[in-house]
Amino acid sequence: MRKSVLGVAVLALLLALSVSGLALAQETIQLAGWSSSDAENAALTAAVEAFEAANPSIDVELIFAPEFETFMQTGFASGDYPNVFYVDSFRLQDWASSGVLEPYGDQITDSEDIYEPLRNIFTYEDQLYCAPKDFSTLALVYNTDMFEAAGVEVPTTWEELGAAATALATEDVAGITTGIELPRFLPLLYQNGGSILAEDGSVSLNSPEAIQAVETFVGWYTAGVGRSPADLGAGWAGEAFGQGKAAMTIEGNWIIQYLLDQFPDTNWSVAELPAGPAGQATMAFTVCYGVAAAANNDNLEASIALADFLTGPEGAQLVAAGGFGPMPARASAADAWLTARGEEFAPFVAGGEYARPWSFPPGFGSFIDTFNTGLNEAIAGNMTAAEVIESAAEIAQEAIDDMS
């Protein structure tokens, strides 16, 4: 009896030693991101475990950092940062131009399957830097009860949108609400054929199309059929919409679960954004798995293997099956997402084909601030649409001169 106890103990000790010995021979890579919903975090953890099972020599340490960008920037500056990490499309050019990312586009499995607009977002100086994790697009979210009561059809053009907003607006309810900010305005710019930068990288913002787009956007608010979320007493457009204070809003996939959880009494549906004179356009917000540059990455191969595993055809299926807010970045997984999430959300997927990137050249932070201020000032009547465009174009030019 005693002997067997001793034997087991010795065996256990040997086992423990050999396991720890193995662990020492292991490669450890850090994967850093921000935290999403509990369900999404759990799904990512499961995907990482599947990767570890398939690659027994690699350990993955999953990090969810609060204030992610500040956390990452501190790491970048010191040269000591995680091997694999989320890169918001908005930050791609800043980070790629600073040399903290390793482009691994040529090692992505079947990259043609990834939506083309998304591949373009993560391409900097003709190199595809990283593979997208998932994405969201903007669509028109509308209150079905209000539409029915007012007898309004779902708008498909600018004219119809304006008319619908006017018909739906009442004393207490705005026809439409959006954040008074660049990402909500940009679809109009593109729908009208405007642009911020020309093909050659020069500033092309200052155009009649752009001014007309600002006039249209600002016009909703000055006419009173549109009201800002703050004006409606809400923190953001989704909240105002959920509270029934607005009949329409322009929001992304993240609004789905929010409305289901927090406003079970509101009846709503989704449509593609109405087309402008120059056709359809929406914004894509996406995140990729960046890999740390070779100079700061001791486990480059393992890092790329992990990123490719999470974003490859299988990874996309995992994202789709979860049925979370964001959509899989691969066309092959779109149907699986719609099945899991609901067919009625097809307009978000459709946007993937014609979405424009929420992404800017390095140093464009103050451009966005200036533009946001301009939109607010125009609504307050302190600036004209032409002045808004002019001041923003000036700042864009300054940013480009600065960086060259």
Q: Measure the CA–CA gap between 184 and 218, rounded to whole angstroms.
A: 12
Query: Which is nearer to other proteins, 167 or 263 (by Cβ)?
Result: 263
Please select the residue that binds other proteins; options are 254, 346, 386, 387, rule is CB under 8 A: 254
| Span interacting with other proteins, options 1-9, 271-279, 313-321, 362-370, rule CB under 8 A | 362-370
Residues of this chain, 143-162, that bind other proteins according to CB under 8 A: none
Q: Measure the CA–CA gap between 342 and 345, rounded to whole angstroms.
A: 6
Please select the residue that binds other proteins; options are 262, 301, 335, 342, rule is CB under 8 A: 262
Q: Where are the alpha helices (DSSP H) in 27-174?
A: 38-54, 68-78, 92-97, 116-121, 144-150, 158-168
Nearest to 129 by CA among 78, 65, 86, 75: 86
| Span interacting with other proteins, options 50-58, 249-257, 301-309, 330-338, rule CB under 8 A | 249-257
Q: Measure the CA–CA gap between 349 and 186, rounded to whole angstroms.
A: 19
Q: Measure the CA–CA gap between 265 and 244, rounded to whole angstroms.
A: 9
Residues of this chain, 14-43, that bind other proteins according to CB under 8 A: 30, 32, 34-38, 41
Distance of CA 291 to the CA centre of its chain: 18
- Separation in Å, CA 58 to CA 27, 53, 277, 310, 312: 5, 9, 53, 14, 18
Query: Which is nearer to other proteins, 160 or 387 (by Cβ)?
Result: 387
CB of 205 to other proteins, least distance (A): 15
Position 290, amino acid: G
Residues of this chain, 183-242, that bind other proteins according to CB under 8 A: 228, 230-236, 238-239, 242
Query: Which is nearer to other proteins, 164 or 237 (by Cβ)?
Result: 237
Nearest to 108 by CA among 126, 133, 87, 91: 133
Please select the residue that binds other proteins; options are 10, 14, 260, 340, rule is CB under 8 A: 260
CB of 181 to other proteins, least distance (A): 9
Residues of this chain, 368-387, that bind other proteins according to CB under 8 A: 369-370, 372-373, 376-377, 380, 382
Query: Which is nearer to other proteins, 27 or 160 (by Cβ)?
Result: 27
DSSP letters for 274-329 = PBBTTB--EEEEEEEEEEB-GGG-TTHHHHHHHHHHHHSHHHHHHHHHHT-SSBPS
CB of 183 to other proteins, least distance (A): 12
Nearest to 269 by CA among 136, 135, 147, 174: 147
Residues of this chain, 41-100, that bind other proteins according to CB under 8 A: 41, 63-71, 73-80, 82, 94-95, 98-100
Query: Which is nearer to other proteins, 145 or 377 (by Cβ)?
Result: 377
Residues of this chain, 270-309, that bind other proteins according to CB under 8 A: 295-298
